[in-house]
Amino acid sequence: MDRFKRFGLLAGPLLFTLLLNLPGTLVSEAGDKVLATGAWMIVWWISEAVSISVTALLPLLVFPLLGVMDMEDVGANYGSPIIFLFFGGFILALALEKVNLHRRIALSIIQRTGTGPERVILGFMIATGALSMWISNTASTVLMLPIALSVIRLLASDDDGFTDKDRNFALSVMMGIAFSANAGGIATVIGTPPNSVLIGLLENEYHIEISFLKWMTLGLPVSVILIAVSYWVLVKWMFPCKDLEFGASKEVIHVELKKLGPASGREKMVLVIFGITVFLWIFRTLINNLIPGLGLSDTGISMLGALALFAVPYNLRKGEFILEWRDTSRLAWGILILFGGGLALARGMSASGLVDLVSGAIANSDLGVLFTATLLIALMLFMTELMSNVALVAVLAPVVAGIAIGLDIPLLHLLIPVTIASSCAFMLPMATPPNAIVFASGYIKVHQMARVGLVLNLISVVLLVAIFQFVIPLIF
């Protein structure tokens, strides 16, 4: 364990103890207890002294002991419907990966975009972004990386060696994969954990529901714009490779597709179940209107898809199914616990009056709405370069909700762009798993990623402020 983690391991509980034993009160008796717990969690989340998922269990221990909430109320947050929505999404992603359907989809997209260097980069970015809507951005990056590396190695081994244009291609395709993985998750509720943390907070605390389709109405265009802007910055501005002699990609993609062979029955069955689930998510409201009393929910649809993968037999005679329970050993259980911890902390902040305190302070201040929104979006976006975006949203979203109440504007208008900002970490290798994975390839230097990332971060702030001001009021 490095020095920073050791410091964080001790500093968390020490700060907690210090805040609990201050003379007088900062907020209220209950508010100070929640504030102390939140400070402990933030220190451990930033330092990653212990797993961020383990840190998320602290409210389950501390809140009942301090009398903030009883065990039943705290525990209910770890079993919130939104957690089962994401669980179902994880199961669908597991099935896609188990039968290699995600790989076939990615290779088919790249094959159809063309074989010129710029088109190949675009193909990798579209494929990665499309996959990240449904599977984790880490998984989509891990899938695309070896294919991209094969193309780069063929360029490096040709007659003219590894030229500057080859190097530009390598930089563009590596960073393009990472940035598209980050942006792709914005498109859907299940695409990236911060989206689900927000949806859970809104449902648990404010009884506001955002349907799968309504989120996509905003999330998908934002995702497409960010991927398009990333492509333009990388390929047209920072690392042009237009005149590169390029025949390598077609061969690599053809070989990779040939290895997969024709689509299997398992792949087709997963595709059908996946397609039906997505169809139900998108048309849920219409179906509920056509069949009164049906009561379809996004969580119910997610669980229907998940159960079908375990219960619909692929081969009835042999008793074979697409997924078996042992496959869930690869499920990101820690992320589900992290959601629960974030929701429990948010409930504690609300119940103890911390959110009311923030909203009251903002209501009595002279800060303008647009200035405050810009500040919060920029703060979230640049802070997520340094700490987990899920943990950050879990901590800041309830505070932002209080600020929205204080400014007397709809919660969604402020919370949505601030949450989306948490997925726009383009500057540093440690900011997101996709950034770290492509950085480990050895083709990217920190200063190169930081230079491109700073431009994209600033563009993202402008885009999200424009969405706050002009777009969100039309949709929500």
Residue 52: pLDDT above 70? yes
Q: Which pLDDT does position 383 carry in this prediction?
A: 85
Pairwise pLDDT comparison (7 vs 155), residue with the higher score: 7
Averaged pLDDT, 5-19: 94
pLDDT confidence tier of residue 322, bands split at 50, 70 and 90: very high
Which pLDDT score, from 0 to 100, does residue 162 have? 65
Asked if residue 89 has pLDDT above 80, the reply is yes
**Contacting residues for 476 by C-beta, under 8 A, at least 6 apart:** 210, 214, 218, 410, 412, 413, 416
What is the reported pLDDT for 177?
96
CA dihedral 221, 227, 229, 235 (to 10 degrees): -150
Sequence-separated (6 or more) residues with CB below 8 Å from residue 448 = 171, 175
426-468 pLDDT tens trace: 988 878 889 988 988 888 888 999 999 999 999 999 999 999 9
User: pLDDT category, 19, cuts 50, 70, 90?
Assistant: very high
pLDDT, one tens digit per residue, over 169-191 is 999 999 999 999 999 999 999 89
> Average pLDDT, stretch 364-385?
87
Percent of the chain with pLDDT over 70: 97
**Is pLDDT at 248 greater than 60 in this prediction?**
no
pLDDT band at 231 (very low <50, low <70, confident <90, very high): very high
**Which pLDDT does position 275 carry in this prediction?**
92
Q: What is the DSSP-derived secondary structure letter of residue 387? A: S
pLDDT over 90, % of the chain:
44
On the 0-12 / 13-18 / 19+ scale of CB atoms within 10 A, 102 is buried
Report the pLDDT averaged over residues 398-410: 90
Radius of gyration of the chain (CA): 23
Pair 177, 131: CB distance under 8 Å = no
pLDDT-derived band at 196 (thresholds 50, 70, 90) equals confident
86 within 8 A of 335, measured Cβ to Cβ: yes
Is the pLDDT confidence value at 93 over 90? no
Q: Evaluate if pTM is beyond 0.75.
A: yes
Across the chain, mean pLDDT equals 88
The pLDDT value recorded for residue 158 is 62
- The per-residue pLDDT for 246 is 62
SS3 314: strand
Q: What are phi and psi of 207, to 5 degrees?
A: 55, 40
pLDDT grade for 154, boundaries at 50, 70 and 90: confident
pLDDT in tens, 251-307: 777 788 888 888 888 999 999 999 999 999 988 888 988 988 888 888 899 999 999
Residues contacting 342, CB < 8 A, separation 6+: 56, 197, 200, 201, 390, 391, 393, 394, 395, 397
> What is the rounded distance in angstroms from the CA atom of residue 440 to the CA atom of residue 429?
9
Query: Among 218-227, 237-246, 387-396, which stretch is predicted with the lowest mean pLDDT?
Result: 237-246
- Predicted confidence at residue 159, as pLDDT, reads 58
Report the alpha-carbon distance of residue 228 to residue 234 in Å, rounded. Answer: 10
The more confident residue out of 362 and 26 is 26
What is the reported pLDDT for 357? 78
- Residue written as token pair 């998984």: 139
More confident residue, 11 or 433: 11
- 103 pLDDT above the threshold of 60: yes
Amino acid at 219: G
pLDDT of residue 232: 96
